[in-house]
With several copies, the nearest count.
Chain A
């Protein structure tokens, strides 16, 4: 049974459903032993009193950047399926922002590839968060920790 690698990337305003995406990636297949996934959510820190968050992106480049990241992961590990969904537009605290699902034969490669995709997405995919609070709008600063997380994959 040859491995069929399907890589799908979506940039959308609509919410996503993790169970439906899991079914789409693994349903009807019997060769997948492990699916690692990540969901990123809008956090409201106690001191921010966030009323909403708006995600801006760079249409065209966004999809291209995500596909490149997924392709890099597929070159690095033997994966049986990848699904990336990133939302844009106005979101509320607690809303899901991003989903990364990675299917593989075993858990080691699925976990590693899922974390790899998230690390590169955080530093390479052209999205920008703006928080709206009672005190006004504020663009979220990039975190040095995210650069460090990306850098560790070069080793």
Chain B
């Protein structure tokens, strides 16, 4: 399946990428597994798996790590928000 990934703020700067489309193995089917899958890319990506602070949104709603990932989803990772 193919998903769209977005990264924001300090995470975007740390990774050096703001967004990408990637093909996922079928067994990467929830947010926790997606974090581990991306963390395997290298050191700067490990924060996705190991930081408890980094938030995830699936299709523009903030979600927990147990949330399922489906083909065509828009999935974003970002630090705690600081607007207002």
Q: When A and B assemble into the complex, do they touch directly, with CB atoms less than 8 Å apart?
A: yes
A residues adjacent to B (C-beta < 8 A): 40, 55-58, 60-61, 64-65, 86, 97-98, 107, 118, 121-130, 139-143, 146
B residues adjacent to A (C-beta < 8 A): 6, 8-10, 53, 57, 60-62, 76, 78-84
Q: Which of B9, B53, B81 contacts A130 (CB 8 A)?
A: B9
User: Who on chain B is nearest to A126 by CB?
Assistant: B81
User: Are A127 and B6 touching (Cβ within 8 A)?
Assistant: no
Q: Which of B6, B76, B79, B83 contacts A125 (CB 8 A)?
A: B83
Complex alpha-carbon distance, A65 and B53, angstroms: 19
User: Who on chain B is nearest to A121 by CB?
Assistant: B84
Complex alpha-carbon distance, A86 and B80, angstroms: 17
User: Are A128 and B60 touching (Cβ within 8 A)?
Assistant: no
Complex alpha-carbon distance, A86 and B82, angstroms: 12
**Which residues of chain A come closer than 8 Å to B61, judged between CB atoms?**
61, 64
**Which residues of chain B come closer than 8 Å to A60, judged between CB atoms?**
60
Q: Which of A58, A107, A129, A140 contacts B78 (CB 8 A)?
A: A58
**Nearest Cβ distance between residue A68 and chain B, in whole angstroms?**
8
Complex alpha-carbon distance, A55 and B10, angstroms: 12
Contacts A60-B60, A61-B57, A61-B76 known; A123 to B81 CB distance under 8 Å?
yes
